[in-house]
Chain A
Amino acid sequence: MNEHAQALREKSLWRPTAALLRSLVGGAALTLTAVTLGRPDLLVLGAPLVLIAVWSLVTRPNGDPSPRTSLAHRSLREGEATTWHTGLTAVPGMEQAVVAVEVGRWVKAAPASGIRVHTLPADTTTADAAIRLDIGLQSRRWGRREVGYGLVAATSAWGAFRFGPHEFAPRTLWTLPLPAIFDAKAPTPSPNGLVGLNRSRRAGDGSEFANIRAFQPGDRLRRIHWPLSLRAGELYVTSTWADQDSHVMLLVDAQNDLGDSGGLGRDASSLDVTVRATAAMAEHYLHRGDRVGLRVFGALNVARLPAMAGRSHLRRVLDTLASIEAGTDRRSNPAKVAGDLTAGTLVVVLSPLASPDALTHAVTLARRGLSVIIIDTLPDRVDDQEDARTQLAWRIRRLERERDIRRVQEAGIPTVPWRGPGSLDQVLRDLGRRSSAARMARR
């Protein structure tokens, strides 16, 4: 048996408590004084303590309750709840079990204290009866966190002997961001995939009407426009625009987390807005059949997700977003972020624009001929500060920020605040019109 197991075994013994010591020493002292000095009143005073001490010793527990813990779910969506199970084996003499779980800032427990006390029924004397202490844990914010750090203890009659407190290891709970509500009616500007819902600029198999033209060998018979063919005396067919999917790259700025986050349904920090908006856009475009990729800068150990389609890819996006820890990586390399992005990719940069790095990334990508949109995710009330100096600093930063945004817009990169559904419609239409025009790209 190794040292750790030995230490755990030693810890798991039933130990006498201060209550037993009090009843034993107090009762013995009063009784002995009564006997030796002939004071029957002290005997009466000590009688309850002596009786309790005897009772406690007679009902001394025997055996190891063997605590076990488990978490019902390893990953949740924001606002969802799971259960922390703590199991104990009832042993003779055990009367009460207590489990206390540390409740973090973003976790709401039921009961609210994170403590559950279970009193065993009086007839529970059989060994191996299982006691189950469940504590509900609701995750209020996306991210990876350790939950379930806590203690479990059990006591015997009169609280005379205590098992534990036995410390149990926390478990990792992944909370996936709950996507915000998002919808975009405008098509993406440069669809270039094989199949999808976006109308491309070339004719082909699709559902959207393009024009009516003369029949050519290879045209399908079901495309023949019979009314016009009968009037003209020769065959005409209906042609359509091809449907294609788009490549949408979501670029997330995780360098800063500005504002105070209150969890789901409360005040949102800049990173909350960014992450939920990213999740919403990923969900929207993946449901339309587009390919969505994800890149994060400003956070370490976050995977680069290549552009893929399908609903299972949404789970990958959410998992990646949940692993973001703001400001853990201060290095910023626009060339590395741009990487292998090809022409026709719609790049959506989601950033609070608190540092110039996001704008640098956007300009670099736009100069490579990519369609770039910047979504401003700075919350409205982020500069509500009580301190006058902080207010002044925010005012200066706001002015600098507005200047930077103006310059980027002058460079042809649309910047829109995140407003949920319809946030991107106007800029997508503008980009669509612009993409059909001739332009010069710097490579």
Chain B
Amino acid sequence: MTSITGGRQALVRLGRLRRRAFDRVIRLSVIQLGRPSQLSWAQRRLTIIIVLAPVVAWSCSLPAGAAFSPWTLTAVVIFTVFTAIRPDSLAGLSTVLFLGWYWFAHVSTHTGDPVSPWTLAAALSLLAFHTATAARATAPDPADLDQAFWRRWTRRVAIIAAATAGVWGLTAAMASEHPGREGLTLAALAVLIVGAAYARWILTRGPTKT
């Protein structure tokens, strides 16, 4: 009898601790969200992108063939809010993995086009999300980011977006030409990625000392 009571008390304590931890997280989030004035204009813009981009990626799944699922949308919003509050944390990775799982589980590739244009749109949204999160984590909340920063990051995003569009185009072409032979497609893409990395390294390395 004593052990049952002790176990119940331990469970009650555990429950209280969990509630406290949850309350603390929620309180912190509310406090952070209630202080938008601490963010500089640059950081506010990035925060908006962080919050909107995953929702856009999720929305792309609907025309791509997924059924509407309110709880997944809620989960995406929660993940993005946490990422916006703590950009330099694992919340961003959780958002990416959740979106990947959602796309894998809810978007069927067998019924329609295996790589629809909506896939490209979702990939670009993920790119925007990752870039905004990374950029936001480079400086504190009240920091103003200069023009050179915006020019550099915009140029880079454009390069990656173009490469992603290339990957999408190649994948779509291969999937339509050789349905069911995705292995070949993947091998081609791997070569493309490695080639891009090599080209980048060639372009950015310093002059050879003689």
Which A residues are closer than 8 A to B by beta carbons? 17-19, 21-23, 25-26, 29-30, 33-35, 37-52, 54-55, 58-59, 92, 95-96, 98, 100, 111, 113, 115-119, 121-122, 125-126, 155, 157-160
Contact = CB atoms under 8 A, between A and B. Distances in A.
Given A18-B93, A35-B186, A48-B126, A159 B146 contact: no
Nearest to A158: B134
Given A22-B133, A41-B109, A43-B167, A119 B193 contact: no
A119 B201 contact: no
Given A41-B107, A100-B140, A22 B93 contact: yes
Nearest to A18: B88
Given A95-B152, A122-B152, A48 B144 contact: no
A125 B206 contact: yes
A46 B135 contact: no
Interface string B152-183: 10001000110110011001001100001011
Nearest to B198: A58
A42 B107 CA distance: 10
Contact of B189 (A43, A111, A125): A43
For chain B, the bracket of interface size reads 35 or more
Given A18-B90, A21-B90, A48-B123, A41 B103 contact: yes
Interface stretch (B6-14, B17-25, B71-79, B114-122): B114-122
Q: Main SS of chain A's interface residues?
A: helix
A47 B140 contact: no
Given A26-B93, A42-B103, A113-B142, A47 B123 contact: yes
Contacts of B130: 19, 22-23, 26, 48-49, 52
Nearest 6 CB-CB pairings of A with B: A19-B134, A113-B142, A26-B96, A48-B127, A159-B134, A119-B148
28 contacts: A18-B92, A19-B130, A19-B137, A26-B130, A29-B97, A40-B175, A40-B185, A41-B115, A44-B120, A45-B122, A47-B193, A48-B124, A48-B127, A48-B161, A48-B163, A49-B127, A52-B131, A52-B160, A54-B200, A58-B200, A98-B138, A113-B140, A117-B144, A117-B146, A119-B146, A119-B149, A125-B206, A159-B134
Contact of B152 (A21, A34, A54, A119): A119
Contacts of A100: 140, 143
